[in-house]
Amino acid sequence: MTKATQAIDAQRLTLILNDLRLPAIKLVWPDFAERADKEGWPAARLLAALAEHEIAERDRRRIERHLGEARLPPGKTLESFAFDAVPMISRAQVTAMCAGDGWLEKGANLILFGPPGGGKSHLAAAIGLALIENGWRVLFARTSDLVQKLQVARRELALEAAIAKLDKYHLLVLDDLAYVTKDQAETSVLFELISARYERRSMLITSNRSVGEWGSVFGEPTIQ
């Protein structure tokens, strides 16, 4: 095979890979092919190696996109969380939960409550990060900020659509849920959000108050 023929084949392959939307293979196939020639790989091994590389790159890009949209506070990982300071929290149990398939598929929820400074937000963010790395979509939001956005949506008669957009996230982290408020409009949209996701899409809620005190936040007897 002449060099001219090889160049034509390479150009043709590039066009084919573009049409098939295989950008990772397009970038690396010359190096893989050279190694395959040197080491005498069978065709199946070369194809498998290229396919595995494409899959790995797609996973990496997906995780990168999901991290970008998640709005997680930086530097909050399970490795940096002080499990020793909160012995009632099991590292093994938290690690198992980070697989996600045992509870996110069911729309189950997780509540972390306790006094300020106990690491609730850190742990919530760390769980969110681990879930994203395992293929799930997560949104981390301060409750007050999200409620303000939902109030704007309500005024624009778009609350239902705004809540529906959050369905794309397997887990919605509501950080500091029981913030002090006297505005019934705020608690109303928050209640609608939680009701809409209940038993359909999971939530991870952090709060300085126990569940028994949430009635003072929502003003709803059903919360008691």
Residues in the chain: 224
Q: What is the pLDDT of residue 114?
A: 83
Q: Report the b/e string of 152-168 with b at 16+ CB within 10 A.
A: ebbeeeebeebbeebee
**Over pLDDT 90: what percentage of the chain?**
73
- Predicted confidence (pLDDT) per residue in 91-143, tens digit: 999 999 999 888 999 999 999 988 888 899 999 999 999 999 999 999 999 99
User: What is 83-223's CATH number?
Assistant: 3.40.50.300
Whether the per-residue pLDDT at 212 is higher than 80: the answer is no
Whether the per-residue pLDDT at 7 is higher than 90: the answer is no
Closest Cα partner for 219 from 183, 176, 173, 193? Answer: 183
Cβ pair 80, 52 in contact under 8 A: no
Structural domain spans, the chain: 3-70, 83-223
Please state the rounded mean pLDDT for residues 191-204: 94
Q: What is the pLDDT of residue 139?
A: 98
Q: What's the whole-number average pLDDT of the chain?
A: 89
Q: pTM of the entire structure? A: 0.81
- Predicted confidence (pLDDT) per residue in 37-95, tens digit: 999 999 999 999 999 999 999 999 999 999 999 999 999 999 999 998 888 889 999 99
Whether the per-residue pLDDT at 190 is higher than 80: the answer is yes
Cβ pair 139, 170 in contact under 8 A: no
